[in-house]
Structure 1
Amino acid sequence: MSTTERPRILVVGGGYVGLYAARRILKKMRYGEATVTVVDPRSYMTYQPFLPEAAAGSISPRHVVVPLRRVLPKAEVLTGRVTTIDQDRKVATISPLVGEAYELPFDYLVIAMGAVSRTFPIPGLAENGIGMKGIEEAIGLRNHVLEQLDKADSTTDEEVRRKALTFVFVGGGFAGAETVGEVEDMARDAAKYYNNVKREDMRFLLVDVADKILPEVGPKLGAYGKEHLESRGVEVYLGTSTKSCVDGHVVLSNDLEVDSNTIVWTAGVKPNPALSRFGLPLGPRGHVDTQATLQVQGTDYIWAAGDNAQVPDLVGRKAGNENAWCPPNAQHALRQAKVLGDNVIAGMRGFPQKEYSHANKGAVAGLGLHKGVAMIVVGKTKIKLKGRLAWYMHRAYHGMAMPTFNRKIRVFADWTLGMFLKREITSLGAMENPREEFYEAAKPAPAPAAAAEDAEKKAKSGDKAEAKAS
């Protein structure tokens, strides 16, 4: 970390908003005008809309992440966490990956911490659930599902086999519907290479407490998505909550009970709970309360955007909805980050702030290879697509939205190769504990039984000698 007397712009979070805001600031900033410091526990940004495809093996996991130091060469990138913020002193406390925490002064602050999985106090969820917020979880889910097929193919225990081939997905929004669609697709392809596992032996369940799935694309396309998944053998249970999943025994509110080794939790997100320690004004659901300029309410040197911010939706409010807020999606995050970056530069130079306003352009969702739904807004017209054409729209939109030209090329290359080569179905489950085999080989061998008895006798005789001497 360098020391400088230039003003410091501290960006807390290196996700979508943090990355794009920092890039925008660096682009607009004059040479030597300020120091931009980005702090995040990970040294890379994850493009979350591609996690389902990474879990299914359609995209290499490395191509879904963007290394911060490579993309922000003119910024300081600190791998750690901001634990507290002292607004009076304008100092943040940084907790690095190793070593003691230290204080970092700042002049301008950007809050871009994103969101975490929204969970509930369900017995067994913490021990058995699998999230889908990071690339590590996507890789873990892929390896886990393929391992379940390995188990089912090699066991003769019908109960173990049934539990291995039952997959439960909780949450019917984008993340849940896309993940179950992609994973079902992968499992269907993988089953062709197993002698004792067929697609008919597997059971996929999608559970949501709401009365529909994919609400972002509207009721008609949501209904189509439900029918499509059901046509592929996915059981969809709406208006249903999860009561318990202790030891993989899943109990639903509709009295259905199943045993499963795979419980994927995609039931929404919530703002990063660390926000509560920063002394910022928060909305009713824990988001940072911002003005339309993305400035935090009551401040002129702090900005926030993305999933951790409560940003007024000016377009919705002009249409008569006084309580309209921008939804937490990549479409808004990208545009908010650019406005935020411009406003930080304007604030630093004493110029007026610009309000963020964006009309919804629609939504796209992939439900597996060549399958999807899309709702595109052109003016006041909503164009609804489904099937292969919607899937092309999904890939085109997210392929172009992927940060950096480098990653765009790599993602499109993965897709192109996928047109000619068969899907990879290799499970790398050993990645979860890569040192296990080496540890078994390197640990000291146990002493032979005879040697152990001699050592025990010597120890006892030594104890007796010590007792006599005392």
Structure 2
Amino acid sequence: MERPRILIVGGGFAGLECARRLERKLAPSEAEISLVTPFSYQLYLPLLPHVAAGVLTPQSVAISLRRTLRRTHIVPGGAIGIDPRSKVAVVRKITDEVVAEKYDYLVLAPGSVTRTFDIPGLPDYARGMKTLAEATYIRDHVIAQLDLASASMDENERASRLQFVVVGGGYAGTETAACLQRLTTAAVKRYPRLDPDLIKWHLIDIAPKLMPELGDKLGQTAMEILRNRGVDVSLGVSVAEVGAETVKFTDGRTLPCRTLIWTAGVAASPLIGTLDAETVRGRLAVTAEMRVPQFEGVFALGDAAAVPDLAKGDGAVCPPTAQHSARQGKRLADNLVAALRNQPLQPYFHKDLGLVVDLGGKDAVSKPLGVELHGMPAQLVARGYHVMAMRTNSAKYRTSANWLLNATAGDDFVRTGFLARQPARLRDFEYTDAYLSRDQVREHAQALLAKG
């Protein structure tokens, strides 16, 4: 008898945890497990700002899937469409070959992409902080601005190269601004022709508070830390227009600036749009067991799914965080095992264990289990949590060693030339224009199935 095929789309926190648990709980004879992902690693997203600042090497946050998974078949590509009627995922491999991956059970965990708005110039001049390539590019770009400003005699050019804007007052934006500001403060000491006072970092957000999830006290503490470092924090403000050398804010200010880092939230992967299914603010509507009600054998979780938050109730859905994604992956694996063994499925229920925000150096704010911390105690909690959350010993050791090296030997300011001559548009790094329409999905699925 042919084994049931479980196809997992996405190798992030949700997809990886689901695959790991399935391997432990299912015998090889019970199911065939496949994972569709364009990269051979799980990206540890919370530490991308440390990669951008050069505190961690890119390899430190790239958790090897082949070290983590033992018998899951990895398909090197990205799903560009789903045809649930034929039970087929249309996959574009990294060679651009398009293939059909059949399934009996489908786990949709494609994650999210950077959320953007209809702001003039934003698609062409904004940089994201969602992928490893983006973080590495931003580090090169920021150091290049210092190099070029130091070599220029034009005061206007210097001014535009030494102003940096980060949009988004959530965790990603706050940590990005904090870590990169520390980088430029340390780096400018190596540029005798540059006045440190000319370097200015701006953190802006349309919300009235910085990281409101932390509470008023810790959010205010984080803002004071940033402002004491010289970061200009503007709340209730957004971007009105972006140019090659200027950024205009909604409060009327126009800054000379060639670096806009956009971290203003996330949106579900465009893959979700290829299904004719109900959504909640762009995320797939699922039951508490993470089933997609319209389609047999289809489940969704993580950033791409609106999983009911039973701990909060009142129709709330789980926020798109790594903590929820990883735990949903485990629960969904248990439900798949139950489905295969004709047992009842269980709902996802999880109370948030707390929040950690690493602002670089000795600065951090954390709220583990509701306890408010700042300074070194918060930093120890934050970094301890990140190390424990990593799934391979090599990643734990490499990350810890990088932190120790940075704390004792200081920063390096090396520009590697990564994609130096390529555009840095969001769609290029996050492949948001790679997906098929619903009609195209059906056509491709039928054609590929006909080929056998």
If the length of structure 2 is used for normalisation, what is the TM-score?
0.90
Task: Tell me the matched-pair count.
Answer: 422
Q: Which residue of structure 1 aligns with residue 325 of structure 2?
A: 333
Task: For 1:15-164, list aligned pairs within 5 A.
Answer: 15-164=12-161
CA distance in 1, matches of 2:39, 2:78: 9
3-state SS in 2 of match to 1:79: strand
Residues 328-347 of structure 1: per-residue CA shift (max 9 Å, x gap):
11111111111111111111
Give the number of the structure with larger relative contact order, counting CA–CA contacts within 8 Å between residues 6 or more apart.
Answer: 2
Deviates more, 1:402-411 or 1:67-76: 67-76
In the TM superposition, residue 208 of structure 1 has moved relative to its aligned partner by 0.5
In structure 2, relative to structure 1, the CA distance for the partners of 1:430 and 1:407 (3 Å cut) is closer
3-state SS in 1 of match to 2:160: helix
Given that 1:128 and 1:248 are in contact with CA atoms closer than 8 Å, whether structure 2 keeps it comes out as no
Q: Which amino acid aligns with 1:426?
A: V
Matched, 1:315 2:307: no
CA distance in 2, matches of 1:418, 1:272: 35
In the TM superposition, residue 247 of structure 1 has moved relative to its aligned partner by 1.8
3-state SS in 2 of match to 1:383: coil
CA distance in 1, matches of 2:52, 2:101: 38
CA distance in 2, matches of 1:15, 1:247: 33
Q: Which residue of structure 2 aligns with residue 438 of structure 1?
A: none
CA distance in 1, matches of 2:55, 2:72: 32
Residues 108-157 of structure 1: per-residue CA shift (max 9 Å, x gap):
00000001000011111111111000111111111111111111111111
3-state SS in 1 of match to 2:77: strand
Residues 331-373 of structure 1: per-residue CA shift (max 9 Å, x gap):
1111111111111111111111111111111101011211111
The structure whose Rg is larger is: 1
CA distance in 1, matches of 2:24, 2:191: 53
Residues 407-428 of structure 1: per-residue CA shift (max 9 Å, x gap):
1111111112223212111111
CA distance in 1, matches of 2:35, 2:208: 41
* 1:287 paired residue among 267, 283, 293: 283
In the TM superposition, residue 66 of structure 1 has moved relative to its aligned partner by 1.7
CA distance in 2, matches of 1:417, 1:118: 35
Q: Which amino acid aligns with 1:210?
A: A
Given that 2:63 and 2:390 are in contact with CA atoms closer than 8 Å, whether structure 1 keeps it comes out as no
In the TM superposition, residue 375 of structure 1 has moved relative to its aligned partner by 1.2
In the TM superposition, residue 32 of structure 1 has moved relative to its aligned partner by 2.3
Q: Which residue of structure 1 aligns with residue 389 of structure 2?
A: 401
In structure 2, relative to structure 1, the CA distance for the partners of 1:430 and 1:415 (3 Å cut) is closer
Q: Which amino acid aligns with 1:291?
A: T
* 2:348 paired residue among 340, 344, 356: 356
If the length of structure 1 is used for normalisation, what is the TM-score?
0.87
Q: Which amino acid aligns with 2:364?
A: G
Q: Which residue of structure 1 aligns with residue 177 of structure 2?
A: 180
Residues 70-122 of structure 1: per-residue CA shift (max 9 Å, x gap):
32231111122222222222122222222542222110000000010000111
* 1:306 paired residue among 295, 302, 307: 302
Q: Which residue of structure 2 aligns with residue 426 of structure 1?
A: 414
Residues 55-76 of structure 1: per-residue CA shift (max 9 Å, x gap):
1111111110123233223111
In the TM superposition, residue 433 of structure 1 has moved relative to its aligned partner by 4.6
What percent identity do the matched residue pairs reach? 39
CA distance in 2, matches of 1:19, 1:131: 24
3-state SS in 2 of match to 1:216: helix
Residues 426-470 of structure 1: per-residue CA shift (max 9 Å, x gap):
111255359xxxxxxxxxxxxxxxxxxxxxxxxxxxxxxxxxxxx
Given that 2:107 and 2:299 are in contact with CA atoms closer than 8 Å, whether structure 1 keeps it comes out as yes
Given that 1:85 and 1:279 are in contact with CA atoms closer than 8 Å, whether structure 2 keeps it comes out as no
Given that 1:281 and 1:297 are in contact with CA atoms closer than 8 Å, whether structure 2 keeps it comes out as no
Matched, 1:271 2:263: no
Given that 2:165 and 2:202 are in contact with CA atoms closer than 8 Å, whether structure 1 keeps it comes out as yes
Q: Which residue of structure 2 aligns with residue 442 of structure 1?
A: none
3-state SS in 1 of match to 2:279: coil
Residues 195-227 of structure 1: per-residue CA shift (max 9 Å, x gap):
112431201111100001112211221112112
Given that 1:7 and 1:107 are in contact with CA atoms closer than 8 Å, whether structure 2 keeps it comes out as yes
Q: Which residue of structure 1 aligns with residue 444 of structure 2?
A: none
CA distance in 2, matches of 1:212, 1:416: 33
CA distance in 2, matches of 1:329, 1:99: 31
Q: Which residue of structure 1 aligns with residue 5 of structure 2?
A: 8
Q: Which amino acid aligns with 1:314?
A: L
Q: Which residue of structure 2 aligns with residue 297 of structure 1?
A: 293
Q: Show structure 1 runs of 5+ residues with no match.
A: 435-470
Matched, 1:199 2:184: no
Q: Which residue of structure 2 aligns with residue 248 of structure 1?
A: 245
Matched, 1:385 2:381: no
Q: Show structure 2 runs of 5+ residues with no match.
A: 423-452
